Amino acid sequence: MTTVHINDTQDTEQPKSPHRRSWLKGIGVGAVSLGAGALATKAYIDSSDGTQTKQDAYGTHQAGIITPQPAAAIIVVFDVLAKDKKGFEKLLRTLTDRITFLTQGGQLPQIDPKFPPLNSGIMGDKVFPDNLTMTVSLGASVFDGRFGLTDLKPQYLQDMQPFPNDALEPESTDGDLSIQICSNTAETCIHALRDIIKNTPDLMTMRWQMNGFLPPHMIRKLGKDTMRNLLGFKDGTSNVDAKNDALLNELIWVSDHANSAGEPAWAKGGSYQVVRLIRNRVEFWDRTPLQEQETIFGRHKLSGAPLGKPNEHDDPDFASDPDGKRIPHDAHIRLANPRTPETRKNLILRRGYNYSQGLSKSGQLNMGLLFVCYQSNLLNGFLTVQGRMNGESLEEYIKPFGGGYFFSLPGFAKGEYLGQGLIQAAV
């Protein structure tokens, strides 16, 4: 999908849009003579505030997978109430309509005040796009026979089985259908979620959800800097290049590539989505020596550089360290990506968010990582990577307690609906 940026992530102190320049002219002030504060104020009230930034609704792939991450996210997982294929199709058509409207924006209809409003009203009467994406994915349970889809399940889709360090809570695990909602603001995500709930009361019910956030000032730097997770480390330094189409067709999208062999035809253009809710034991972490923290990840905390290297994007060069003296063999990055020709097929596209949810029952900070990743092959991707990381030193500080495996539907064209290929292939 094409990304359309309308000055959202630009440096707000440089007048760029014609609209903005005309405003400056209109008040008879030259840009050079305006102080940064005045420009920043103006940036807040015109289109460069990001409210008009739009992601395409139509395309080969759904938005929200390779599109840049905005600052706010909600992952919400539903169980489907629809009883048959017809009901499931109605759900997919409703989701398509609402997502198209919410992501592109527009006027909300006025209604008779004797009836409840059609919408929460959080965005007023005119919905603005605010960089919203809503990515719809299906869990394995949808293919259980209720909707005539049994023979159409993506081959690796399954319920989440606990890894040795997991304590999966059933109320926060699995589910029929996930929606990853991402936007510039938490309010726009909440608005979108409430719109979906209001429009599908008879079709699905919420099972679990998690809100995530990233620092907005870092997002505005547009990839010039890497964001930090709540353990204080740069997270996202090394990731699959979302601009490399050949790589994406091999590793992220179900495609004609051998990595996707055996998948049903309808799944082409989709991707396996993994969500993991991972609590961080931050009080314990904050009492851990810096040296130990860095050894656990295999990177320097401040710079994000691989241990013993000066720069963040330097190659960790494991080959020159066969005994693990510089970067231990059980360091997170060494297990996650050993960087060998054999492990190339295990690369995944990570798209996680931080989360914070007040206090745990035992009075500790309840915060961590809303881990999300995408891959064309769940077995070669997350399942193998997580398998390699079982027993890593980081496990003492983290506790995965929920999540699920889902299949992100292919994108749709104008006049089509999400999952149309699946429904048409169903019996």
Ligand X SMILES: C=CC1=C(C)c2cc3[nH]c(cc4nc(cc5[nH]c(cc1n2)c(C)c5CCC(=O)O)C(CCC(=O)O)=C4C)c(C)c3C=C
Residue ranges binding ligand X (CB under 6 A)? 229, 231, 233-238, 276, 278, 280, 297, 299, 332-333, 336-337, 348, 368-369, 371, 382, 385-386, 389, 398
Q: Is 146 annotated as a binding residue?
A: no
List the structure tokens of 89. 């199709």
Beta bridge partners of 351: none
Is 388 annotated as ligand-binding? no
d(CA 304, CA 291): 13
For residues 390-418, b (16+ Cβ closer than 10 Å) or e, as one string?
Answer: eebebbebbebbbbbbbbbbbbbeeeebb
What is the amino acid identity at position 409?
Answer: L
Helix (H, G, I), strand (E, B) or coil at 326: coil
Q: CB-wise, 68 or 411, nearer to ligand X?
A: 68
CB 402 within 8 A of CB 209: no
Which tokens is 75 given?
């992952």
Nearest approach, Cβ of 349 to ligand X (angstroms)? 9
Nearer to ligand X, 20 or 332 (CB): 332
Distances from the Cα of 84 to the Cαs of 148, 149, 406, in angstroms? Answer: 8, 10, 20
Q: Which is nearer to ligand X, 143 or 208 (CB)?
A: 208
Encoded tokens for 150: 């049994």
Beta carbon of residue 193, minimum distance to ligand X (angstroms, whole number) = 24
Annotated binding residue 338: yes
Check the annotation: does 20 bind a ligand. no
Is 337 annotated to bind a ligand? Reply is: yes
Residue with Cβ nearer ligand X (54 or 234): 234
Residue of 333, 343, 347 lying closest to 296 (CA atoms)? 333
Residues in the chain: 427
Tokens 């919410």 belong to residue: 102
In the DSSP assignment, the letter for residue 109 is P
Q: How far is the CB of 245 from ligand X (least distance, A)?
A: 20
Q: How far apart are CA 125 and CA 108, in angstroms?
A: 5
Q: Residue 362 Cβ, how far from ligand X at the closest point, in Å?
A: 19
What is the three-class DSSP state of 193? helix
Minimum CB separation of residue 305 from ligand X in Å reads 10
At 82 the three-state DSSP class reads: coil
**148 vs 289: CA distance, rounded Å:** 55
Shortest reach from residue 159's CB to ligand X, in Å? 17
How many CB atoms are located within 10 Å of the residue 33 CB? 8
| 25 versus 221: smaller Cβ distance to ligand X | 221
Nearer to ligand X, 20 or 279 (CB): 279
Shortest Cβ 359–ligand X spacing (Å): 19
Minimum CB distance to ligand X, residue 34 (Å): 39
Amino acid at 247: L
* CB 309, min distance to ligand X, A: 12
H or E element at residue 78: strand 72-80
**Contacts (Cβ under 8 Å, ≥6 apart) of 132:** 55, 102, 103, 181, 182, 183, 188, 189, 192
**Residue positions forming the annotated binding site for protoporphyrin IX:** 299
**Residue positions forming the annotated binding site:** 299, 332, 337-339, 350
**Residue positions forming the annotated binding site for heme b:** 332, 337-339, 350
